[in-house]
Amino acid sequence: MKVRSISILGSTGSIGDSTLDLIRRNRSEWRVVALTAQNRVVELARLAREFAAEVAVIGDESLLSQLREELRGTNIAATAGQQALIEAAAYSADITVAAIVGCAGLAPTMAAIERGGTVALANKEALVSAGEVMTAAVLRHGATLLPVDSEHNAIFQCMAGSDPTDIRWITLTASGGPFRDWSAERIVRATPTEAVKHPNWAMGAKISVDSATMFNKGLELIEAHHLFPVGLQKLRIIVHPQSVVHSMVEYRDGSTLAQLGPSDMRVPIASALAWPARMDTPCEPLDLAAIGELTFRAPDEVRFPATRICREAALLGGGIPAVLNAANEVAVAAFLAGQIGFTRIAAHVENVLSAYAPPPPASLDDVLAIDREARLRAMSLMELA
């Protein structure tokens, strides 16, 4: 078996952990090039040692001397800062896993794309913000973008070999998050601890809050719009509390193809790592008899307005989704810090969207400028409120 090389951007996070678990189980098949983190320097050094990485990169420059200290006695190179993250992303590797959270992952992800490599994309905020700028770069540089987000990975698998013009609907499934069955009155009082306690998936804090607000599904709608350009009117969302069906594609002959699996990110990650082949995972086989029932219902956009807000932003397109993403990131951070209530997240995103409508970005720098400006406005609007 040919040894394949891999870099993981955001190696200390939830997706990074699941990816490294798969590598650990097939150690001899992989060579680890670069591993990155933002603050968790001890964990980064531990992983770099365990996987004999060539380079370890810490985003926070003030932690470089500590990283060097932690890696003393090894020949692992240590670098730090935003530019070092971008350089690491551009290193040659058979596959680069883009698993930084938020728009902070955009410039590194673009660097991996501009190298013309294969990018396993978990970092949905990067694609939501950059949209056409990123998809154009994929085409221009001959890169391959493999979706890791479980819904998009499911759709990718269900579309294999098909003519996109034969597609009638793409249906994204949503667990509905921890507040799915809560009354509007109770949702208003939801706490950060309650929001990060997802019923089906173990994930980082930001995406867990996004799941609770349903912004995660809204961002995924925009993500799907760019990955599978069949037209927004053919993309829909259905709530499926068991998270067994990860998404579906309906064709014009009436056939619906779905991908099913356990609620374990190692399944879609393995699908991307091995694509177009398959690899083993330690996940339990799907026991449908034990699960018993799969249920589906329409989303409730009164209690959870996020999917409507995201659809409207996607229809406007251009720079609007970048504003939406930045406003949501600022609002989620404020909610996690106990500064705003749960339902203020969506209200705040709508306020920022009505205050700032930049022209469509033409380049990565344009997207980053919109992101910066949207964050400033989001923060000042929050202070005014």
Q: Is 12 in the site for ligand NDP (CB under 6 A)?
A: yes
Least distance CB 172 / Mg ion (angstroms) = 8
The span from the first CA to the last CA of the chain, in angstroms, equals 59
* Binding residue (CB under 6 A) for ligand NDP from 7, 13, 275, 382: 13
Return the SS3 of 39: coil
Least distance CB 163 / ligand NDP (angstroms) = 28
325 and 103 Cβ atoms separated by less than 8 Å: yes
Q: Is 62 exposed, middle or buried (0-12, 13-18, 19+ CB in 10 A)?
A: exposed
* Binding residue (CB under 6 A) for ligand NDP from 39, 83, 92, 363: 39
Looking at the Cβ atoms of 54 and 223, the one nearer to ligand NDP is 223
Least distance CB 151 / Mg ion (angstroms) = 5
* Binding residue (CB under 5 A) for Mg ion from 54, 70, 149, 223: 149
d(CA 79, CA 218): 35
d(CA 232, CA 2): 40
The alpha carbon of residue 352 and the mean position of all alpha carbons in its chain are separated, in whole angstroms, by 22
As beta bridge partners, residue 118 has: 144
358 Cβ contact partners less than 8 Å away, ≥ 6 residues apart = 318, 319, 320, 322, 323, 370, 373, 374
Q: Which residue has the tokens 């609002």?
A: 331
Least distance CB 275 / ligand NDP (angstroms) = 17
Q: In the window 233-272, what residues touch ligand NDP (CB under 6 A)?
A: 265
Give me the amino acid identity at 334. Answer: A
Least distance CB 245 / Mg ion (angstroms) = 13
Looking at the Cβ atoms of 107 and 351, the one nearer to ligand NDP is 107
Q: In the window 41-100, what residues touch ligand NDP (CB under 6 A)?
A: 59, 85, 99-100
Count the site residues for Mg ion by CB under 5 A.
3
Looking at the Cβ atoms of 268 and 361, the one nearer to Mg ion is 268
Under the rule (CB under 6 A), what is the footprint of ligand NDP?
10-16, 37-40, 59, 85, 99-101, 104, 122-125, 149, 201, 203-204, 206-207, 265
